[in-house]
Amino acid sequence: MPDLASAIRDLVIANRILARENVVDAYGHVSIRHPLHPERYLLSCSRSPELVERADIVEFNFAGEAVDGDTRRPYLERFIHGAIYEARPEINAVVHSHADDVLPFSITSTPIRPVIHNASGLGLHVPVWDMRDAFGDTSLLVATVDHGRDLAKALGGASVVLMRGHGFSAAGRTLLEAVGISVYVPKNARVLISAMRLGEVKGLSAGEIDRIRHGPHAHDLRRAWEYWTRRAGCADLL
């Protein structure tokens, strides 16, 4: 279990990585479950991920309230994070992204599926959450606890849920897993769209996904984390 200072350092690095790898831009966010208080999570105040620093990190409860009375403006869609942590005790990191490459699969009947080795974290089934089904016409923003809980329900036991016309949210057992999934989801989407133009597409099988993720040659993202960290200009934080 990481200590609080290390957890905050890694969360800052994760923000910078996701920005550098074009998973997030001015918008989008990443959080971790509090390492000492599992009924809380750590998330930046409302800043673009590329600019996030240690002092920007705030503790929230699952209702999206700053536990120490911090009055800085929070992300409006922080309810995504609290609801997923509330519903999934095994999840310790959440990413929300608006990556363009993923959006076509959120607004058509064509499902996204893992077709490249590094995207095995997608799993075989990626649900699509349509906010309109439960809430009618909205801004498409997850702006309340009820919105977040409905999204978490759609995510179910999956690692990724697409959000119709909006983006995706990814959940990981570790921060490294959540970041890795989020980096490779848009890359997988680009490959899949390109392949569909050529003809029949062969995706990963359930057995392949299991071996990539849990087998004797399981994908180790620690090397990628160091690489991404240096690309993001955060080598001094390692």
Active-site residues: which are they? 77
Q: What does DSSP say about strands 57-61 and 40-44: parallel, antiparallel, or unpaired?
A: antiparallel
Alpha-carbon dihedral sign for residues 28, 212, 86, 111: positive
Tokens standing for 43?
């998330």
Which residue type, as a one-letter code, is found at position 31?
S
Distance from the first to the final alpha carbon of the chain: 17
Tokens standing for 29?
């966010």
- 91's CB contacts (< 8 A; 6+ apart) are 33, 84, 85, 171, 172, 173
**How far is residue 230's CA from residue 17's CA, in Å, rounded to a whole number?**
9
Tokens standing for 181?
């999934």
Residue 222: other Cβ atoms inside 10 A: 8
Tokens standing for 213?
């993720």
Q: Closest Cα partner for 27 from 81, 68, 77?
A: 77
